Amino acid sequence: MRPRIGYLIPCTIALALAIDAGTRLIPIDLFAFRAWEALIVAHAPTGPFEPDRVYANPLTYGDLARAPRYAALRQHHFEYFSTDAWGFRNTPQAAAGPVRWLLIGDSFGVSSGVRDADTLASQLARWSGERTYNASSYLPLPVNDIRFTSERVGAQGGLVIYEYMERQFLPGAGAGVDMRVFTSGPPRPARSAGERLRVLGKEATVSRLGILAGWGRDAIAARLGSPSLDGGASQPGELPTAGAELANGATMLFFTGDVEVTRDPAREIPPDYLIWLRDELRKAHLELAVLIAPTKYQVYGPLVRTPGAPRPSDAPLRRLADALNARGVFAVDVTDALRRQAAADLARHEYVYFLDDTHWNERGIETAARTFVDARRRAGRTGRHSSDGDRRARLARVDRASTMNRADR
C-alpha cells in the first residue's frame, strides 16, 4: 500500500506521544546525573526532596560539567543521598532526634554532591558533638518553617545555624513572616499506595524523551564546535559556565554568576533580615548563628592564573559578619579558612570545592564545619553538651552512625 502523508504525519505524532508516555515510567534516577534533580521532582509536601529515599550514584559529577562540551572535565565520584520521612536530607540516625542544632541553608547546606556522612550537618555534628538536623532546602526556610521544624525535632532551646551563601539574596526584616514553604504533615508512609502513586505521578511530569532529546541536541552542539570555556553559549537549563586555569595547571569550572557577584567590593549585603530572624527565633527560645559560605570563585579566584580573570573581593562578606556580630548575632565567615586550605592543597591537586561543580566538597565542608565549631568554642558557646566527656560520648555516637551509614552503601 502506498504510504500517504495524510496518515504518516498523524501516525508520527501518535507514535511520539506513545513513546513519550511509555518512557515516563522509566525510573527517573536513570536520567539524573546527581541526586538533586532526581529527588526534587516528587518532593514531599513536607520537605524539599522525595521522602524516605536513598539515591546512590557511583558516577555522579558536577552541575557545571553537565554540558557535553565539558565532558572531559567531569570529576566522577560517588554520591549517597538519603532523605527522611519529611523529605529533608538526613540519615535515619540524624532524624531520630531529639537534636540540639538545626541547620537551615540552601544547596550548600544540603551539601549537594557529597555522601551523607560528609554533609555540613554531619560534619557539624562530628566536630561539635551536637546532634544536628539538616533542614536545608532550595533556600533557607522562613521563620514559621524553622519554628515548626525545631519543635518537630525537639530542638527547642537549641541553636539554629543559618547557612548564608554569598550569592543568596537576603530580604529585608520581616520577610516571609506569614509564609510556610512546606506543610506540617504528618508525612505519608513512603510505602503506602497513595504515596507511591503521588511519586509516580510527579515523576511522570518529566519527559524522559525530552531529556534524551536534550542530550542529543547537546551532543550535536558540542560536535559543531561551540566554544568550550567562553562563559557563554549555554543551552536551556544549563548553568552559564566559565573555565579558568588554576596556578597548579588544573582547569576549574565556575558559574559565571559567582564570578560576577564577587567582583564588587562595595556590594552591600544587608544584615537586617538575619537580625530580625534572630529576634523572632529568640521568642521561641532558639539561638541564631550564621555560617557565611563564600562562592567557589571567592575562594579560588585568587588562585586563578588565566589572564584577565577578575579578582574577587571578600569585603562584603567581612562587612556582613562584622555587622552581625556587632548586633549580637553570632556569625562566622569561613572564607579565610577555605582560602587557606585551598592554597595549601593546591600543589597536591586537592581541592575544597569540586572542580566541576558550584558546590564545596567534603574537604571544604569539613573546613567550614571545623571553623564554625572552633569559633563557637572560642566564644564559649559550645551548647549544652560542652563537657569533654559528654562531647566525646556524642562524637562516638555520631561516628558510629556515620559508619553505619557507610556500611549501608
The CB-of-23 to another protein minimum distance in angstroms stands at 11
What is the residue type of 300? Y
Q: Which is nearer to another protein, 8 or 59 (CB)?
A: 8
Strands 54-60, 77-82: pairing kind: antiparallel
Position among 196, 217, 285, 400 found at the interface with another protein (CB under 8 A): 217
Cα–Cα distance measured from residue 79 to residue 58, given in angstroms and rounded to the nearest whole number: 6
Q: Is 22 in the site for another protein (CB under 8 A)?
A: no
Other beta carbons less than 10 A from residue 351's beta carbon:
24
Q: Is 237 in the site for another protein (CB under 8 A)?
A: yes
Cell 571578600 appears where? Answer: 314
Cα–Cα distance measured from residue 399 to residue 290, given in angstroms and rounded to the nearest whole number: 25
Q: Is 16 in the site for another protein (CB under 8 A)?
A: yes
Contact 184, 148 (CB under 8 A): yes
> Per-residue contact track with another protein, 329 to 348, x per CB under 8 A?
--------------------
Angle at 16 between CA 15 and CA 17, to 5 degrees: 90
Position among 172, 236, 307, 380 found at the interface with another protein (CB under 8 A): 236
Cα–Cα distance measured from residue 73 to residue 61, given in angstroms and rounded to the nearest whole number: 9
The CB-of-308 to another protein minimum distance in angstroms stands at 17
Cell triple for 244: 579558568
The CB-of-12 to another protein minimum distance in angstroms stands at 6
Position among 54, 71, 206, 233 found at the interface with another protein (CB under 8 A): 233
Position among 173, 204, 209, 229 found at the interface with another protein (CB under 8 A): 209
Can you say whether residue 43 is alpha, beta or left, with left for phi > 0 and alpha for psi between -120 and 50 degrees? beta
Position among 45, 92, 214, 231 found at the interface with another protein (CB under 8 A): 214
Q: Is 26 in the site for another protein (CB under 8 A)?
A: no
Q: Is 13 in the site for another protein (CB under 8 A)?
A: yes
Cell triple for 26: 522509566
Cα–Cα distance measured from residue 244 to residue 304, given in angstroms and rounded to the nearest whole number: 6
The CB-of-88 to another protein minimum distance in angstroms stands at 31
Residues near another protein, by CB under 8 A: 2-6, 8-10, 12-13, 16-17, 20, 207, 209-210, 212-214, 216-217, 224, 232-233, 235-237
